[in-house]
Amino acid sequence: MPVTIDARGLACPQPVIMAKKAIEENEQITVLVDNDMAVENIRRLALKLACGFSVAEREAGVWEVALVRMGPTVEAVKDGSPGMQEDELSCTVPTGKETGPLVVILSDNHMGRGDDVLGDILIRSFIHTLLQLQPRPDKVICYNSGVKLAVKDSAVLDDLQVLAKEGVEILVCGTCVNYFELGDQVAAGHISNMYDIAETMAGAGRLLRP
Amino acid sequence: MEEQRYVVFLFPSVSYALKAEKILKAAGIAHKLIPVPRHISSDCGVCVRIAEDKERDVEGELRGRVEWDKAVLL
């Protein structure tokens, strides 16, 4: 029988501490929590202890988190580190959004330096992968030759359009579009200026630059 | 509306995938170079995705011009 721990109403880091203690003593546990932070902390605990992890929202605002021991790893970890490690005790949800949005910088229509044919394949793969990335980027900034990704006939135009449709703001550098004489061909996002670009970068929680 | 189903063509290397892409472009067959989906294993990290109903056309274009490992329905 799985042991059920009710950690609802408890403040971080109490739920994860209770979960750790319980999984060390039981093969299988279920923890009831009422906040994302606790779910995330227990998810990381499971990862660290190599336990099976699953989560289901049982009712609005209440999650049922299940942990299953997969092998002797738990004991090994327990012996190796008797106390809770600091990184397990984060009381902020590590979504990267606490400090601001996740911003992807496309400053080139290639990914990496060395070979442009390869760089072209890589940037196309990267942008396609953004569609599945969690958490989803909040904004994308295209500048310098990166603006060529957002114009007609770009191989990633469809991906950028899907991102835009799903609420990702795409800023395309107007100066760059003008320089490359692509003014009438921008087909994803909107033309922006250096004020907005600099502000967006400065206000980002994280910048992702392929 | 029914969701579009895709087939991906897997190649022995990136250069084969690129060559296939050029052929399909010249033939006017809609396609997209994408990373090989995680659940399919392949040494080459990219593959060519096409609409499911274009599989025969693509095979016809590629046959004898570029080798591929397999075509997988997504």
**Six-digit token string for A135:** 């958490």
Q: What is the pLDDT of residue A80?
A: 47
Interface confidence, given as ipTM, is: 0.82
Model confidence at A127: pLDDT above 80:
yes
In this prediction, residue A100 has a pLDDT band, given cuts at 50, 70 and 90, of confident
Q: Choosing among A128, A134, A158, which should be mutated to test the B contact, i.e. which has the most B CBs within 10 A?
A: A128
Q: Give kind and range of the element (H or E) at residue B6.
A: strand B6-10
pLDDT higher than threshold 90 for residue A85: no
Does position A186 have pLDDT exceeding 50, yes or no? yes
The residue with greater pLDDT, A71 or A187, is A187
Q: How many angstroms away from the CA of A209 is the closest CA of chain B?
A: 18
A157 touches chain B (CB under 8 A): no
A49-52, Cβ contacts within 8 angstroms, sequence gap of 24 or more? A49/A20, A49/A23, A49/A73, A49/A74, A49/A77, A50/A74, A51/A23
A125 touches chain B (CB under 8 A): yes
Calpha distance A18→A33 (Å, rounded): 11
H-helix or E-strand containing B48?
Answer: strand B46-51
Query: In chain B, which residues have pLDDT < 70?
Result: 1, 42-43
Q: Is the pLDDT of residue A141 over 60?
A: yes
**B46 with A158: Cβ contact below 8 A:** no
Kindly report the CATH number that applies to the domain delimited by A102-208: 3.40.1260.10
The pLDDT of residue A88 is above 80 = no
- Banded pLDDT at A19 (limits 50, 70, 90): very high
Q: Which residue has the higher pLDDT, A37 or A178?
A: A178
Which CATH fold topology does A3-88 show? Translation Initiation Factor IF3 (3.30.110)
pLDDT of residue A135: 87
Q: What is the pLDDT of residues A42-66, one digit of tens each?
A: 988 898 888 889 999 888 889 999 9
Mean pLDDT score across all residues of chain A: 87
- Kindly tell me if the per-residue pLDDT of A94 is higher than 60: no
pTM: 0.64
Structural domain contains residue B40:
yes
Range of the domain at B62: 6-73
Residues 6+ apart with CB under 8 A from A152: A185, A187
What's the mean per-residue pLDDT of chain B?
A: 91
A125–B45: do the CB atoms touch at under 8 Å?
yes
pLDDT tens digit string along B24-45? 999 999 999 998 988 887 667 8
Q: Check which CATH number belongs to the domain holding B68 and give it.
A: 3.30.70
pLDDT at A165: 95
State what percent of residues in chain A have pLDDT above 90.
66
Q: How far is B64 from chain A (nearest CA, A)?
A: 24
- Residue given tokens 């080139």 in the structure block: A108
Specify the number of domains making up chain B.
1
Asked if A20 is an interface residue toward chain B (Cβ–Cβ < 8 A), one would say no
Residue B1 placed within a domain: no
Query: For chain A, what are the domain ranges?
Result: 3-88, 102-208
